[in-house]
Amino acid sequence: MKLGFLASHNGSNMQAIIEACKTGALQATPAVVISNNAESGALARAKRESIPSYHLSSKTHPSPERLDRAILDALLAHQVDIVILAGYMKKLGELTLKRFEGAILNIHPALLPKFGGQGMYGIHVHEAVLAAGEHETGVTIHLVTEEYDSGAIIGQENVPVMPGDTPKSLQERVLKTEHAYFPKVLQKIESGEMAIPGYKMPTSQCPDR
């Protein structure tokens, strides 16, 4: 199973998945990293891990259509099976969404459908959770569609909101859960325990029925 990553900033979830691949906990190959930010930590991580990487953005491709095509071409060139959005702050284009329909995963730092949609990212999510007086939050892994945070939910993991939590302390605890949970979900997909519509296991890997 070959993984393609799109990330805008630090790429810590990407790194957690890479580490799972390196230890053998996840039988997958990090195939390519794409970032819209030439100075992103994700590209630096890719370089350290010797993973092919690209800066593709409105600066390299001012036309949205050509940018979409460049992203798709990079994913196809590296024979990506599943696309991982690891803190990617841009919407994917129509070509990429169509080609990888049902095989693009995003992780959101709340229990969707709560606290999702445009503008709900990073610290803003945790501020909203605390403002709403929630006693529980968590992480959601979902399929990516043309609308923010609206795709089918693949899995969720709960995280308690503790007395005295600040947005920052809550963010740190949720992020720790993200790092542990995302590789586990990918492992279930790779093993056939969990199915997503855009990925079919190679016949040689299918579990006995």
**Whether 137 and 164 share a structural domain:** yes
The answer as to whether 148 is a domain residue is no
What is the domain range of residue 192?
107-143+154-196
The HSE-up count of residue 127 (CA atoms within 13 Å, CB side) is 6
Check residue 41 and give its pLDDT.
Answer: 96
Kindly report each contact of residues 87-91 with a partner whose C-beta sits within 8 Å and lies 24 or more positions away, as own/partner.
87/7, 87/8, 87/9, 87/10, 87/11, 87/12, 87/13, 87/42, 88/6, 88/7, 88/8, 88/36, 89/8, 89/9, 89/36, 89/121, 90/8, 90/36, 90/57, 91/146, 91/148
Check residue 204 and give its pLDDT.
Answer: 57
**Whether 188 and 118 share a structural domain:** yes
Check residue 70 and give its pLDDT.
Answer: 98
**Whether 1 and 84 share a structural domain:** yes
pTM: 0.93
The answer as to whether 207 is a domain residue is no
Check residue 118 and give its pLDDT.
Answer: 87
**Residues belonging to the active site:** 108
Residue-by-residue pLDDT tens, the chain, 209 positions: 999 999 999 999 999 999 999 999 999 999 999 999 999 999 999 999 999 999 999 999 999 999 999 999 999 999 999 999 999 989 999 999 999 999 999 999 999 999 998 889 999 999 999 999 999 999 999 999 999 889 999 999 999 999 999 999 999 999 999 999 999 999 999 999 999 999 988 765 555 43
